[in-house]
Amino acid sequence: MDASKIKVFVDFDGTITPKDIGREIFLTFGDEQKAEEIISNLHKGIITSRQCWEELIANVHSIDEKKIIDLIDSISIDDSFISFVEFCKSNKIDIYILSDGFDFYIERVLQREKLSWIPFYSNILRIDNGKLSAYFPYYNPDFNSSSNPKMQHIIDNSSDEDYTIYIGDGNSDKDAAQYCDLIFAKDGLLKFCELNRISFFPYKNFNDISETIRRLLSKKRLRKSHQAMLKRKIAYEAE
Ligand SMILES: [Mg+2]
């Protein structure tokens, strides 16, 4: 197997950072109880991801940019992600970050960790005179679980011959993960896969993932997911 054909798509909040930074910002700077209620409505499927972000933003009355930056800087990433990135580099595996969170903090965290070379796709957050505004450049009303339709970036950045891997933990990963040949799941994504009989590897940290991929690489051929191929085909036909 030519390792250059393996592509890894990884979620950001709750996956690369153990804490969900987007969530933390809105719980800290908005009315906390109301923010909890909005997030719980998203998880219950009452509102869409985009509605969730819009309601959370409306729940923040004014914000001090410096305080947001201090909060972002206080949140660390999963240590094992750094060695996982090294592992990918040395095996010529491409890596992409797909997030239903915001560029504002992803960029800052990646810069701090000297990982800004990793391409990422996310929503956009701006702070102007103490006011937050969000933009959703990739928004597709057909997908409610993520304001940034992650599967579109998977399709745009891989060919049918590539072996695609998804790593995630939550709501915004549910649809996208099914477009990949292999899924690594924890928390909400794990429960979703179990419930829907979607095959996946459970993981605790990125060391578990490197270990599994290393085992796969030692095989002569990687078995692609028939289900993922079908999903991709339907997506091409819709385009
Ligand atoms: Mg997540």
Summarised one tens digit per residue, pLDDT across range 103-140 is 999 999 999 999 999 999 999 999 998 899 999 999 99
pTM score, whole prediction = 0.95
Q: Which residues have beta carbons under 5 A from ligand 1 (an ion)?
A: 11, 13-14, 169-170
Say what the pLDDT of residue 100 is: 98
Query: How many CB atoms neighbour CB 218 within 10 A?
Result: 8
Ligand 1 centroid to 220 CA: how many Å?
32
Ligand 1 centroid to 150 CA: how many Å?
12
The architecture of the domain spanning 3-17+78-238 is 3-Layer(aba) Sandwich (3.40)
Q: For the chain, what is the total number of helices (H) and then of strands (E)?
A: 11, 7
Ligand 1 centroid to 20 CA: how many Å?
7
DSSP secondary structure letters along 174-234: HHHHTTSSEEEE-HHHHHHHHHTT---EE-SSHHHHHHHHHHHHTSS-PPPPHHHHHHHHH
Handedness of CA 86, 205, 99, 73 (dihedral sign): negative
Say what the pLDDT of residue 205 is: 96
Q: Which two tokens stand for residue 196?
A: 């829907």
Domain boundaries, the chain: 3-17+78-238, 21-74
Ligand 1 centroid to 78 CA: how many Å?
13
pLDDT of 1 above 70 = no
127 backbone φψ class: left, alpha, beta (φ>0; ψ -120 to 50) = beta
Pairing of strands 6-10, 94-102: parallel
* Residues above pLDDT 70, as percent of the chain: 98
**Closest among 160, 203, 141, 161 to 10, alpha carbons compared:** 203
Say what the pLDDT of residue 3 is: 45
Q: Which two tokens stand for residue 27?
A: 């719980």
Ligand 1 centroid to 221 CA: how many Å?
30
